[in-house]
Chains A and B, each alone.
Chain A
């Protein structure tokens, strides 16, 4: 069930991704910066909100009038700020929705990512609460509808002794103090929790991406500015509690649940919302989930170089004073509670070299699920099946389904947990030992990596920008990188493989005869 849901979500995102990738390229693709875009939209909301606050009057009589002044008298600034405030809030919800779907679709909410996933749930509630209180403050017909329906929802909870909704049925029951309370919630209380929630959300991630690319920021801001001029946000008729609201122009981004209160009941809506929230919270532990053994440090081979600490995407490795009395200053320590079992640390370890002739191949840090020694053995076995001209050995990460597709096409594939697990000396090993004529590295594209930086670090290592670098004696043209934005689109991998073969020199016929 979950598998098919994820597959459907991937297919849906794929439809969105292809045109976006064409228009924006891989770096600026908005789908790769959803979290950062949400934070950027929150900045717009904050700055525009400060401007609105300067002119906003927290009273029954003043709230509506002050916003009317901003919208019509000060349209060139206050009106634009108000529109930006609304549209950036709506954009944040849209991005939030795609962000959640994307993390779910690509299964990046399990293992050690559970913390960000679960802390994201209260964030969603907070963002909606901010939106609802914001609409409340306008005190137009929509605010009246929002106030009554929200109060009906709250009345369903065993919190208030008297009916809260009863306060919104007559003008005499309304007081200015209520607006002060709502303004406090919207402007101070909820935003403080939101900032804290965002911090907690990215707390266990190393190098969290907070800002989207500047071009994307400029583009979305310009886009919302134009929208604000062309289609400014305005209030509906002033709230009149003596009248029943007959129809409202609903903001469906924030208020889509509200009609459900009338169609069903407040109790059902609570049940639905709390049920969905609980389901989302427990999703990381729903089948098919599994947790292998965390990375282990071998002190006899650990020289305390700290590369694993730098590369770990989850901050699961720390350095501590040497405990074995060897001459090095420090040693790496893995926190199994934070380790995602991706093996990126192994790929960063300078001692993970398959060329060792003496003793066992045990690097300073290793992944028990697939050790460096097992990886070397696996390479030997798979490469042994290669024959003929233009032998290509493919490496694929387990997060994408490219390995399966390549196997179906009759290609030799070595599967690793994450491409970042593959130390560059292993590529050197394959090519210099003539195990293959070329190597294809394929897996999730940067920004899509289940373990965040696996593809990024691999790319940097192979292009000799990051340690451990690929040795200079290796001809880069024999290493093809084919990162996949969407694992469902396997055609491009096979095309890139064909392109790689086409540039490989023909081997001598003697070799062919010998192998035949």
Chain B
């Protein structure tokens, strides 16, 4: 009988432990008055140089199967992205192009916590290497609700920012 109760207690403790820690304690990653601003997109920045017409002598030096009239540099500029909320920078990062030859798209993914409220959002991006100016920018008035996931993207076909 003693053994029976011992087993009963053990099984009860086992069940309680399994049941409890499968859901408790809850994990809170955001405060009640907080929201998330997510930035996610890929963008191919401008190439570091213009294409150049090759001279006939330069073309003739190339292997026959690789002869072409232009020489275009593959590398792309780093991309600078800045996001301000009511004038305060909440994200600013220089993103390098992907690929072994730095000729691919630059990827950005970030999630930033922000207090819920009314904001004037400014999004600026530079992909041409010219310092001190943005090639693309957007200013938008928005109300960010508690628990909202505000997503900022970039449409490469129209070169405009998307806020949803």
CB distance from A460 to the nearest CB of B (A): 25
A155-B109, A163-B40, A223-B11 given as contacts; is B149 within 8 A of A244 (CB)? yes
Cα–Cα, bound, A258→B26 (Å): 13
Residue contact A22 to B6, C-beta cutoff 8 Å:
yes
Chain A CB count within 10 A is highest, among B11, B31, B41, for B11
Answer whether residue A24 sits at the interface, using C-beta atoms and an 8 A cutoff: yes
Q: Give every chain A residue within 8 A of B98 (Cβ-Cβ).
A: 161
Cα–Cα, bound, A264→B19 (Å): 28
CB distance from A231 to the nearest CB of B (A): 5
A166-B109, A246-B29, A247-B26 given as contacts; is B104 within 8 A of A161 (CB)? yes
- Tell me the chain B residues, 41-92 only, with Cβ under 8 Å from chain A: 41-42
Residue contact A23 to B7, C-beta cutoff 8 Å:
yes
Chain B CB count within 10 A is highest, among A23, A90, A145, A249, for A23
Chain B CB count within 10 A is highest, among A86, A231, A246, A252, for A246
Cα–Cα, bound, A145→B148 (Å): 14
Residue contact A169 to B151, C-beta cutoff 8 Å:
yes
Answer whether residue A224 sits at the interface, using C-beta atoms and an 8 A cutoff: yes
A244-B30, A245-B29, A252-B21 given as contacts; is B42 within 8 A of A169 (CB)? no
Residue contact A251 to B23, C-beta cutoff 8 Å:
yes
For the residues of A in contact with B, the DSSP-based class is: helix
Write out, one digit per residue, whether chain A residues 275-304 have a CB within 8 A of any chain B CB (1) or not (0). Answer: 000000000000000000000000000000
Q: Give every chain A residue within 8 A of B18 (Cβ-Cβ).
A: 87, 90-91, 94, 224, 227, 253
For the residues of B in contact with A, the DSSP-based class is: mixed
Residue contact A246 to B22, C-beta cutoff 8 Å:
no
Q: Give every chain A residue within 8 A of B2 (Cβ-Cβ).
A: 22
Chain B interface size band reads 35 or more
Write out, one digit per residue, whether chain B residues 1-40 have a CB within 8 A of any chain A CB (1) or not (0). Answer: 0110011011110110111011111111111101110101
A90-B18, A94-B18 given as contacts; is B29 within 8 A of A247 (CB)? yes
CB distance from B66 to the nearest CB of A (A): 26
Q: Give every chain B residue within 8 A of A9 (Cβ-Cβ).
A: none
A167 nearest in chain B by CB position: B40
Residue contact A165 to B109, C-beta cutoff 8 Å:
yes
Chain A interface size band reads 35 or more
Q: Give every chain A residue within 8 A of B105 (Cβ-Cβ).
A: 161-162
Residue contact A227 to B19, C-beta cutoff 8 Å:
yes
Residue contact B19 to A170, C-beta cutoff 8 Å:
no
Write out, one digit per residue, whether chain A residues 205-246 have a CB within 8 A of any chain B CB (1) or not (0). Answer: 000000000000001101110110011010000000111111
Q: Give every chain B residue within 8 A of A245 (Cβ-Cβ).
A: 29-30
CB distance from A330 to the nearest CB of B (A): 47
CB distance from A490 to the nearest CB of B (A): 24
Cα–Cα, bound, A258→B28 (Å): 12
- Tell me the chain B residues, 135-164 only, with Cβ under 8 Å from chain A: 147-149, 151, 164
A22 nearest in chain B by CB position: B6
Residue contact B149 to A219, C-beta cutoff 8 Å:
no
Query: Of B9, B24, B31, B36, which is within 8 A of A23 by CB?
Result: B9
Residue contact A24 to B7, C-beta cutoff 8 Å:
yes
Q: Give every chain B residue within 8 A of A247 (Cβ-Cβ).
A: 26-30
Enumerate 28 A-B pairs (CB-CB under 8 Å) in ascending A order.
A20-B10, A23-B3, A23-B6, A23-B10, A24-B7, A87-B15, A87-B19, A91-B18, A94-B17, A148-B111, A152-B109, A155-B109, A165-B40, A165-B109, A166-B41, A166-B109, A169-B149, A170-B151, A219-B7, A231-B19, A242-B149, A243-B148, A244-B34, A244-B35, A244-B147, A245-B29, A246-B29, A249-B23
Known A-B contacts: A86-B22, A253-B18. Give 6 more (CB < 8 A).
A19-B10, A25-B3, A219-B11, A220-B11, A250-B27, A253-B22
Query: B-contacting residues of A (Cβ < 8 Å)?
Result: 19-20, 22-25, 30, 86-87, 90-91, 94, 145, 148, 152, 155, 161-163, 165-166, 169-170, 219-220, 222-224, 226-227, 230-231, 233, 241-253, 258-259, 262
